């Protein structure tokens, strides 16, 4: 024991202390080096003028205006190179049949279909026309939740809600674990087999940061999709008009996810 | 001062080891965390620019308007006013980059995709039963840009 104590002398302690201080001083130097290397390697040709804290994007969907042409799904796939059989946005057809005679119900069964996400449009349904009480199309996409469950479960901080309200996936950081895909109650996320990461609607982030509309909004022929910036309303703002002229609903509000995407003209069958 | 070192050596070793681990962790965290991490929140701030760096595919109606203003203005007065040019004419970015590149001719399937009668379609939309409507071309009777006019 006495030999061990002897090994710790003043000189040794001072040496160690000097080493620790030197190491601490080396930290900022390392940080500067790393930032320089990163900035040289990662180029960002995106518009520099865009400040995400000065915008708050939102989409609104009018069920009564949707004609089920599926051109938005096609536009999205081409714009974002979405792999086949995966969808960032898709259209569902709801068919509610007439109630059985004498059943005492107000409505019959509900059938929902979305053949290939509606990318090729819709053909006649299998339910005969005479049996249909009512039927309509519902376009779906990421609901831009206020308390998004998908971003909360990410173990590496690869998915997040940007300051402008868009929920994004950092493909360079995503490890492809799929937790977020399971967490989304709207089925808005999918596993991209090409990038091996989670993938989802970005509200066409590369378009809206350049002042363009998202591809689906641009291509929609019937203005069923309304898009706008809540922080910078324009005269006759389409979003404000949408809220003013419609009864506004949201998908699955009872889950507490706070879906921000607005729906109008939705029936209680829509989930 | 030297009273400190009268502690048993195994305790001192433990203390030094703990310091080394904590220090090693903080150095590793500093070096492995991207510089823009935490710029806006618990994620890489640079990811926003990287996602925004993608090139747009659809040119947009405003771009078409800069050259074909007269056609767009005329369209705005008719029933097809809510349509974007590329809704029917298809992606036009190649034509914008080089006006020599012509857009493909349209086929009647473009009309049918929206106007074929389906029970799910809203009532305000003009719908036709394609099989019984007319055997010829749509454009024989309808002007696509001004549907309420006849050619």
Tell me the pLDDT tens digit for each residue of A171-187: 999 999 999 999 999 99
Are B112 and B42 members of one domain? no
| Domain match, B45 and B111 both | no
Could you report the average pLDDT of every consecutive run of 10 residues in chain B (151 residues)? Answer: 72 94 95 90 92 93 92 90 92 92 86 93 93 89 88 80
Is residue A132 exposed (0-12), middle (13-18) or buried (19+ Cβ within 10 Å)?
Answer: middle
Do B39 and B78 belong to one domain?
Answer: no
User: What 3-state DSSP class applies to B135?
Assistant: coil
Residue B145 domain-assigned (yes or no): no
Domain shared by B45 and B66, yes or no: no
Within-domain flag for B100: yes
My answer on whether B97 and B126 are in the same domain is yes
Whole-number Cα distances in Å, B65 to A170, A217, B71, B78, B105: 35, 17, 8, 16, 20
* Phi/psi-derived region of residue A109, left when phi > 0, alpha when psi is between -120 and 50, beta in every other case: beta
Contact B47 A170 (CB under 8 A): yes
Rounded to the nearest 5 degrees, what angle is found at the Cα of B7, between the Cα atoms of B4 and B13? 100
The answer to whether residue B67 is domain-embedded is yes
Assess whether B45 and B109 both reside in one domain.
no
CA distances B75 to A218, A224, B80, B87, Å, are: 16, 19, 6, 13
- Which tokens hold the place of A46? 């995106």
| B73 and B134 assigned to the same domain | yes
Domain total of chain B: 2
Going from the C-alpha of A221 to that of each of A75, A115, A203, A212, B79, the distances in angstroms are: 12, 20, 18, 16, 11
Sequence ranges of the domains in chain A: 2-41, 47-88+140-271
Say which DSSP state A53 is in.
Answer: G
In this prediction, residue A96 carries a pLDDT of: 95
Work out the number of other CB atoms within 10 angstroms of the CB of residue B3: 6
Instruction: Give me the domain span that covers residue B109.
Output: 61-140
Whether residue A5 has pLDDT greater than 60? no
Say yes or no to pLDDT of A116 above 70. Answer: yes
Q: Is B116 within the bounds of a domain?
A: yes
Residue B2 lies in a domain: no
Reported ipTM: the value is 0.85
**Residues of B with Cβ-Cβ distance to A45 under 8 angstroms:** 53
Q: Which of B31, B80, B121 sits opposite A34 (nearest CB)?
A: B31
CB-CB: which of B6, B35, B125 is closest to A35? B35
Q: Please report the pLDDT score of residue A45 as a whole number.
A: 46
Residues of A with Cβ-Cβ distance to B30 under 8 angstroms: 27, 30-31
CATH number of A47-88+140-271, picked from 3.30.70.20, 3.40.50.740, 3.40.50.300, 3.90.1640.30: 3.30.70.20
Please indicate, yes or no, whether the overall pTM of this predicted structure exceeds 0.90. no
Residues in chain B within 8 Å Cβ distance of A95:
119-120
Contacts of B7 (CB under 8 A, 6+ apart): none
Do B95 and B131 share a structural domain? yes
Q: Do B56 and A53 touch (CB under 8 A)?
A: no
* Cβ–Cβ gap A44/B56 under 8 Å: no
For the CA atoms of A123, A125, A130, A133, the dihedral, rounded to the nearest 10 degrees, stands at -110
Q: pLDDT value at position A34?
A: 63
- B103 to chain A, minimum CA–CA distance in Å? 16
Average pLDDT over residues A191-220: 95
Work out how many CB contacts closer than 8 A connect A with B: 165
Which tokens belong to B142?
């309808």
- Regarding predicted confidence, which is higher, B125 or A22? B125
> Does B26 map to a domain?
yes
Question: Distance from A199 to chain B by nearest Cα, in Å?
Answer: 12
Selected residue with higher pLDDT from A122 and A1: A122
**B81 and B36 part of one domain:** no
B90: left (phi over 0), alpha (psi -120 to 50) or beta: left
Question: Considering only CB atoms, which chain B residues are within 8 Å of A210?
Answer: 52, 56
């Amino acid at each position: 024991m006495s030999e061990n104590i002897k090994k710790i002398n003043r000189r040794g302690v001072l040496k160690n202390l000097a080493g620790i201080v030197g190491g601490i001083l080396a930290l900022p130097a390392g940080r500067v080096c790393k930032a320089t290397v990163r900035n040289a390697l990662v180029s960002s040709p995106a518009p520099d003028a865009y400040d995400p804290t000065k915008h708050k994007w939102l989409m609104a969907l009018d069920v009564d205006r949707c004609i089920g042409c599926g051109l938005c799904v096609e536009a999205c796939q081409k714009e974002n190179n979405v792999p086949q059989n995966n969808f960032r946005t898709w259209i569902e057809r709801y068919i509610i049949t007439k109630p059985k005679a004498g059943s005492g119900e107000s409505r019959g069964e509900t059938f929902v279909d979305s053949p290939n996400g509606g990318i090729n449009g819709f053909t006649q349904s299998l339910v005969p026309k005479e049996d249909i009480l009512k039927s309509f199309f519902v376009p779906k996409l990421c609901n831009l939740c206020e308390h998004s469950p998908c971003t909360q479960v990410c173990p590496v901080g690869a998915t997040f809600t940007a300051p402008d309200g868009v929920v994004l996936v950092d493909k360079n950081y995503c490890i492809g674990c799929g937790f977020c895909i399971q967490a989304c109650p709207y089925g808005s996320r999918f596993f991209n087999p090409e990038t091996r990461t989670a993938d989802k609607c970005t509200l066409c982030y590369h378009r809206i940061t350049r002042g363009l509309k998202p591809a689906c909004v641009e291509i929609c022929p019937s203005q069923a999709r309304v898009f706008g910036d809540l922080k910078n309303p324009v005269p006759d703002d389409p979003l404000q008009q949408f809220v003013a002229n419609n009864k506004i609903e949201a998908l699955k509000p009872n889950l507490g996810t706070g879906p921000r995407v607005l729906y109008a003209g939705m029936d209680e069958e829509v989930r | 001062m030297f009273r400190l070192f009268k502690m048993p050596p195994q305790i001192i070793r433990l203390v030094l080891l703990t310091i080394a681990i904590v220090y090693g962790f903080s150095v590793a965290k500093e070096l492995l965390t991207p510089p823009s991490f935490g710029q806006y929140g618990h994620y890489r701030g640079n990811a926003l620019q990287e996602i925004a760096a993608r090139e747009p595919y659809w040119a947009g109606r405003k771009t078409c308007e800069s050259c074909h203003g007269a056609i767009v203005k005329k369209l705005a007065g008719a029933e097809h006013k809510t349509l974007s040019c590329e809704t029917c004419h298809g992606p036009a970015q190649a034509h914008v980059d080089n006006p020599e590149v012509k857009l493909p001719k349209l086929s009647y399937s473009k009309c049918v995709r929206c106007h074929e009668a389906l029970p799910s379609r809203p009532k305000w939309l003009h719908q036709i039963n394609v099989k019984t409507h007319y055997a010829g071309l749509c454009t024989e009777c309808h002007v696509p840009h001004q549907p309420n006019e006849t050619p």
